[in-house]
Amino acid sequence: MGLVGIALLFFLIVGVPIGIAFGLAALLGGNVAQIPLETFASVANQAVNSFPLLAIPLFILAGQIMSQGKIVKQLIDLSEMLLGKVRGSLGYVTVLASAFLGAITGSSVATVSAIGSTVGEKMVEKGYKRGYVASLIAGAGLLGVLIPPSIPLILYGATVGVSVSDLFLASMIPGIIMVLIFLITHRLMLNRVLGEPLGNGETEAEAATKIRSKRKTFLGSIPALFMPVIILGGIYSGLFTPTEAAAVACLYGLIIALVARSLKFPDLSRVFFISAVSSAAILSIIAFSNMFNFMITLEQIPQTIAEYAISITDNKYIFIILVTIILFIVGMFMETNAAVLLMGVLLAPAAIQFGINPIHFGIILVTNIEIGLLTPPMAANIYVSAKVNKSSLIEMLPFVFWFLGGAVILLYIIVFVPSLTTWFL
């Protein structure tokens, strides 16, 4: 495992924050190997001085503009209007809105927070059990990672050396399948979780039309509907790169919010501050993890893992199954972005040795680790959703496993049907 790996494990066990643990383990290994400190400063700087990684703070900013500018609410109002006569429509709206927001922010936790604060209480008023509402929003938040653009996919691409645009293309079909799985899960759960409305007995269609007319709702949401079209259409048409798409999304969202007066100039300081803090946290982890990756490469740990994996089995599917088990455990205990940075470097070389396409492996890795957002002790989606929706973990437990099971089913569909992720190659 090497001194660096042992040091990292020790720091994580004693509760050192993940980014600092990466840095301390690297510096300890570098001290033993007598590597000058300025080398690590250069390595960390090179990690974040990257044009592809610039997409991360820009997509975070775009998500904050969407949320604070009430653009998400416009989209939810439109979805509710269109599905108002369908039984359980708010649940379907939640899944679809999460997918839509995931196509803008690239962040799971941000999706959970935005959707929960917008539609969560409304679902409870319509008779849904509070624990189910929190579980549905936590599960649908996974779409924030899988639906392109995706921050973890950007990290994997930058770390392993794979085209980010190709990774976005590869995640599209799995993302659509996850949407369908969650919609089906919601339909199967309806009779168990939907009781009598807590309000005045209005139907969802009546409530939607009472808020605003159908015409006003539709016209007001048109600019927001173009956001993912501009982002994804621009990337896949070759008009601009993912990083440039993120910049365009920020500018476009800002113009929409300011013109509609849903966001005022004094509010911008808060939007930029929240985005800067979130971006700084992620980029710090990237910088420190790159120092760690530098050291484990010197110790040839990835190559050792590849050789060891080949010595155990020569069947790539057995290898992938073992990897999914390992990643599932890692996702339970490590923050998503940090886990992608670490495990991508460690396992991608072994996957390539088994003839697994690095793009296919990237989707497997990110999907596997994002499941950790629903599995304690980390389970960031569960904790955020519980807080935003005023639910307890006990209330959520009977329902969250349904969405966890759906995500696991998708994972193994991706594993055994690689053409879902490599169809464009």
Q: What backbone torsions phi and psi does residue 128 show, to the nearest 5 degrees?
A: -75, 145
Query: Average pLDDT for residues 209-225, to the nearest whole number?
Result: 66
pLDDT, residue 204, reads 53
pLDDT category, 47, cuts 50, 70, 90? confident
The residues pairing with 194 across neighbouring beta strands, listed in sequence order, are 128
C-alpha neighbours within 13 Å on the C-beta side of residue 367: 33
Nearby residues of 347 by Cβ (< 8 Å), 6 or more positions away: 302, 305, 323, 361, 365
Query: Average pLDDT for residues 29-37, to the nearest whole number?
Result: 88
Q: Which two tokens stand for residue 410?
A: 């998708």
pLDDT, residue 294, reads 87
Is residue 210's pLDDT more than 70?
no
- The answer to whether 164 touches 415, Cβ cutoff 8 Å, is no
374 vs 4 pLDDT, higher one:
374
Q: Within 10 A of 310 (CB to CB), how many other CB atoms are there?
A: 13
Instruction: Give the max Cα distance, the chain.
Output: 72
Selection from 109, 157, 162 nearest residue 381 by Cα: 109
Q: Give the whole-angstrom CA distance, residue 173 versus residue 92.
A: 19
Q: Give the whole-angstrom CA distance, residue 400 versus residue 254.
A: 35
- pLDDT tens digits for range 383-403: 889 988 989 888 998 899 999
The chain-wide mean pLDDT, for the chain, equals 85
- The answer to whether 56 touches 50, Cβ cutoff 8 Å, is no
pLDDT category, 51, cuts 50, 70, 90? confident
* pTM for the whole structure: 0.85
Q: Give the whole-angstrom CA distance, residue 77 versus residue 95.
A: 14
Query: Average pLDDT for residues 147-171, to the nearest whole number?
Result: 91
Q: What backbone torsions phi and psi does residue 284 show, to the nearest 5 degrees?
A: -65, -45
- The answer to whether 310 touches 365, Cβ cutoff 8 Å, is no
Q: Give the whole-angstrom CA distance, residue 72 versus residue 61.
A: 14
Q: Give the whole-angstrom CA distance, residue 278 versus residue 21.
A: 19
Query: Average pLDDT for residues 216-239, to the nearest whole number?
Result: 78
Q: Give the whole-angstrom CA distance, residue 107 versus residue 67.
A: 13
CA dihedral 218, 190, 142, 217 (to 10 degrees): 10
